[in-house]
């Protein structure tokens, strides 16, 4: 497969503001994911795969690294359970894209229906919650009847991981509903009340990461989230931090994170009280501090 020929399917997209354009971005992400899987299946060469992914437009390059993570992890897990190649991949060429590659491991666990704990015990525990998120995204996308319609909880996941699993389910709802916030809201409201906060946080990740939504849309999402608006803000912060780490920050992700951060004055004040930050929501240092600590707080809560 010729890299230059293949990559013509992944154009660099301009700033977008209509729902049709948001859907185009979603389709671009899905194409990046599937084409990366196809490249690895065809070539079976991790070094060649990494070279291929480095030519994908920067906005969604981390998605390709997530897809590769799933493919490499599946191969490792199917041939004996040790994550030998996957660990080399994560600690080497995929290091900047850690948030996504741990989600990719979750895809692999969910696809193979493997017990969660025996797999994640082999990896750094700070990212266990990202793996659970990937499990939720996979089940929400490919097992919708059980996960979204019947609201079944996965037998392969421990109770402690379910909150982060629901975060992934929330992300999947936004994609499967093609960014139709009315449909997403109705689906979320079909879940038990105690699961809805994590679903809205997943929504926040998806909306902020993909981008393309105008301010009117973002404000509508905020209004629909109601008391879970702070969870949207947390999700946007997770998306912003993953883009910061991968050096793939976009104006859309930054704008969404800032808007919801400012909207969630109560949550921001709560965070300030916890961290000793008295700078307030209008301070740049306070905003960046908030972004960089959200993931750490979620990881801590996951460990219980």
pLDDT single digits (tens) 52-83: 999 999 999 999 999 999 999 999 999 988 99
The pLDDT of residue 266: 52
H or E stretch at 231: helix 229-246
Q: Are 292 and 119 in contact (CB under 8 A)?
A: no
DSSP structure class, residue 291 = H
Residues 6+ positions from 226 with CB-CB distance below 8 Å: none
Among residues 173, 161, 237, the alpha carbon closest in space to that of 200 is found at 173
Q: Distance (Å, rounded) from C-alpha 151 to C-alpha 169? A: 11
Q: Which two tokens stand for residue 148?
A: 């979204």
What distance in Å separates the CA atoms of residue 20 and residue 30, rounded to the nearest whole number?
15
Contact 256, 232 (CB under 8 A): no
What value does the mean pLDDT take over residues 123-141? 94
Total Cβ atoms within 10 A of residue 82? 11
Mean per-residue pLDDT, 257-264:
90
Residue 45 CB neighbours (<10 A) = 12
Percent of the chain residues past pLDDT 90, beyond the cut: 77
Q: Coil, strand or helix: which one is 179?
A: coil
Nearest residue to 147 via CA among 165, 128, 129, 164 = 165
Running DSSP on this structure, what letter comes out for residue 149?
Answer: I
Q: Is 87 a residue whose pLDDT tops 90? A: yes
- Both tokens of residue 287? 């905003």
Closest listed residue to residue 99, CA positions, set 248, 245, 202 = 245
Q: What is the Rg, in whole angstroms, of the alpha carbon atoms belonging to the chain?
A: 18
User: Would you state the pLDDT for residue 284?
Assistant: 85
pLDDT surpassing 80 at residue 98: yes
Mean pLDDT in residue range 164-180: 97
User: The tokens of 191 are what?
Assistant: 């879940």
pLDDT at 96 over 70: yes
Closest CA to 173 of 208, 210, 199: 199
Task: Work out the angle at residue 160's Cα, subtended by the Cα atoms of residues 159 and 165, and round it to the nearest 5 degrees.
Answer: 85
Residue 148 in contact with residue 187, Cβ under 8 Å? yes
What DSSP assignment string belongs to 19-75?
Answer: HHHHHHHHHHHHHHHHHHHHHHHHH--HHHHHHHHTTS-GGGHHHHHHHHHHHHHHH
Cβ-count burial of 99 within 10 angstroms (0-12 exposed, 13-18 middle, 19+ buried)?
Answer: buried
Predicted confidence (pLDDT) per residue in 211-257, tens digit: 999 999 999 999 999 999 999 999 999 999 999 999 999 999 999 99
Residue 285: the pLDDT is 85
**SS3 of 118-168:** HHHCCCCHHHHHHHHHHHHHHHHHHCHHHHHHCCCCCCCCCHHHHHHHHHH
Distance CA 28, CA 113 (A): 28
pTM: 0.89
């Amino acid at each position: 497969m010729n890299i230059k020929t293949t990559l013509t399917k992944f154009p660099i997209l301009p700033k977008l503001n209509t729902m049709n354009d948001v859907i185009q971005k979603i389709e671009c992400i899905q194409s990046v994911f599937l084409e990366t899987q196809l490249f690895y299946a065809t070539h079976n060469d991790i070094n060649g795969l990494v070279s291929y992914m480095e030519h994908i437009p920067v906005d969604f390059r981390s998605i390709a690294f997530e897809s590769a993570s799933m493919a490499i992890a599946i191969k490792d897990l199917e041939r004996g359970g040790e994550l030998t190649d996957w660990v080399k991949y994560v600690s080497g060429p995929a290091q900047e894209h850690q948030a996504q590659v741990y989600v990719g491991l979750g895809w692999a666990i969910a696809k193979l229906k493997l017990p969660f704990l025996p797999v994640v015990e082999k990896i750094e525990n700070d990212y266990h919650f990202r793996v659970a998120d990937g499990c939720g995204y996979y089940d929400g996308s490919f097992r919708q009847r059980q996960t979204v319609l019947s609201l079944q909880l996965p037998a392969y996941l421990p109770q402690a991981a379910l909150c982060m699993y629901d975060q992934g389910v929330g992300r999947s709802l936004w994609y499967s509903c093609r960014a139709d916030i009315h449909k997403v809201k109705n689906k979320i409201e079909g879940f038990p009340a105690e699961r809805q906060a994590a679903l809205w946080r997943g929504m926040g990740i998806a909306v902020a990461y993909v981008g393309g939504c105008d301010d009117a849309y973002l404000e509508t999402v905020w209004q629909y989230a109601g008391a879970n608006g702070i969870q949207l803000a947390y999700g946007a912060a997770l998306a912003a931090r993953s883009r910061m780490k991968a050096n793939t920050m976009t104006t859309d992700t930054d704008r969404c994170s800032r808007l919801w951060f400012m909207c969630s004055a109560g949550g921001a004040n709560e965070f300030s009280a916890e961290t000793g930050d008295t700078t307030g929501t209008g301070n740049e240092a306070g905003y960046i501090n908030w972004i960089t600590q959200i993931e750490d707080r979620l990881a801590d809560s996951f460990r219980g």
